[in-house]
Amino acid sequence: MEIIEHYFYTKEHEWVNIEDGVGTVGITDYAQGALGVITYVELPEEDQEVDQFEQFVSVESVKAASDIFCPMSGRVIEVNDKLEDNPALINKSCYDKGWIAKIEIKDMEETGNLMTSDDYRSYLDTLDH
């Protein structure tokens, strides 16, 4: 299971990679594996304001529909519109080509509410038993 070292994670299996005050958001390798083949992604609107842990996206797969929660508060500044035509990019490349949205982060201190890669790895170990 792939986990990227300098990303932050949620218990709902979202990730955020923060660079220069912008957070790129997606779902983890664990989440895409649990969902199965993703068939549809409802993307957020650009300029939409989101709060930390607020539902802002939903994905549908062959197994289920699932709400995706935003790991950080801020304003959506870009969405990955490639997912409209090819939602399975999340399955193929959840940390690279399958990102969902970019957020202009409002409060960097909210990272304190997220897990580091080590924390997330330990959390996943509790789920497998």
Residue 129 lies in a domain: no
Dist. CA 50–CA 40, nearest whole Å: 21
Say what the pLDDT of residue 25 is: 98
Say what the pLDDT of residue 129 is: 54
Domain residues for the domain of 98 are: 8-124
Count CB neighbours of 2 within 10 A: 9
- Provide the domain count of the chain: 1
Residue 1 lies in a domain: no
Residue 104 lies in a domain: yes
Residue 83 lies in a domain: yes
Where residue 95 sits, what CATH number does that domain have? 2.40.50.100
Q: Are 62 and 21 in contact (CB under 8 A)?
A: no
Task: List per-residue pLDDT tens for the chain, 129 residues long.
Answer: 789 899 999 999 999 999 999 999 999 999 999 999 999 999 999 999 999 999 999 999 999 899 999 999 999 999 999 999 999 999 999 999 999 999 999 999 999 999 999 999 999 999 965
Token couple for 88: 């399975």
Strands of the 49-50 sheet, one edge to the other: 8-9, 14-19, 22-27, 101-105, 74-79, 49-50
Say what the pLDDT of residue 54 is: 96
